[in-house]
Amino acid sequence: MSLYTIATFYQFTPLTNYEAMKEPLLMVMKEKNIRGTIILAAEGINGTFCGEEESVTYLENYLKSFTELSELSFRKTYDDFNPFDKAKVKLRKEIVTLGTPEINPKDETGIHLTPEEWNELLTDPNVIVIDTRNDYEVKLGTFKGATNPETENFRDLPEYVEKHLLDKKDKKVAMYCTGGIRCEKSTAYLKKLGFKQVYQLNGGILNYLATMPVENSMWEGHCFVFDERVALDHSLKSLEKGSIDTEWKNKNRKKLEQY
């Protein structure tokens, strides 16, 4: 049985007092020996944290005790080690930085698809499927037939859209990311630009891998995660040492060292 529970979550919801939440939240994390990063902004909350199961449950309930976060849900994975080195709570303008703080996913986003519906969509030759993650993430794994915008950061995505998608507003466009949060922002951005048929993978790659049997899966490779696990296999387990290409590791070493 794995010793540690890793909880990933986000919610777009107005947090008028988000700055005041920082220190009490950090105190709870330290008291419960929980490590990871939580980002707070006026538009909501985003984070991943890890600890022993009882401590993780305590922090989840603490977060949900805030009226604005009462409907917060968490996606769990498990491992034999804690992939974070310390507890961090950060204040930001956006909980995921697209560089468009005026975009509000609570107004409108793409249509959320289940993993089964996503598989069906991927077989449609008329759909443009966009991987909204960074280029170094895509290099480790992606969906069959998806387009890699080759972005260095998520905030580079609007430039890609302006150059390559603005003349395709009448097309079906489907987007996906690791856990769903980047797609909330990116599909809301497309809807704001006037795209009519926009879709996203509900819960992202992590939800897809958790629910889709390997024999029916259209995922190829590994799923990058922003912590010391680096990437997960189809069963959401961290990879064996040496299973990631050495060239990829050397090229992205600086990025990996920040987690």
- What are the pLDDT digits (tens) for 101-146? 899 999 999 999 999 999 999 999 999 999 999 999 999 999 999 9
CA atoms of 48 and 39, how far apart (whole Å): 9
At 46 the pLDDT is 98
Element (H, E) at 87: strand 87-91
Same domain, 76 and 39: yes
Same domain, 149 and 252: yes
Same domain, 183 and 87: no
At 34 the pLDDT is 98
Inside any domain, residue 186: yes
**Could you give the residue numbers annotated as active site?**
177
Contact yes or no for 59/32 (Cβ under 8 A) = yes
Inside any domain, residue 202: yes
Same domain, 64 and 127: no
Same domain, 119 and 213: yes
What is the residue whose two structure tokens read 């759909």? 127
CA atoms of 26 and 45, how far apart (whole Å): 14
Token pair, residue 170, equals: 């009448």
Same domain, 133 and 251: yes
At 245 the pLDDT is 56
CA atoms of 227 and 50, how far apart (whole Å): 11
**Of 124, 143, 123, 117, which is closest to residue 132 (Cα–Cα)?**
143
Same domain, 62 and 181: no
What is the residue whose two structure tokens read 């950090």? 26
Inside any domain, residue 104: no
Segments of the chain with pLDDT less than 70 = 1, 240-259
Inside any domain, residue 228: yes
Question: What is the domain range of residue 119?
Answer: 111-257
Q: How do residues 88-102 score in pLDDT, each as one tens digit?
A: 999 999 999 999 989
Same domain, 71 and 140: no
Token pair, residue 23, equals: 């220190």
Inside any domain, residue 164: yes
Same domain, 76 and 139: no
Same domain, 248 and 151: yes
Same domain, 59 and 124: no
CATH number, residue 161: 3.40.250.10
Inside any domain, residue 8: yes
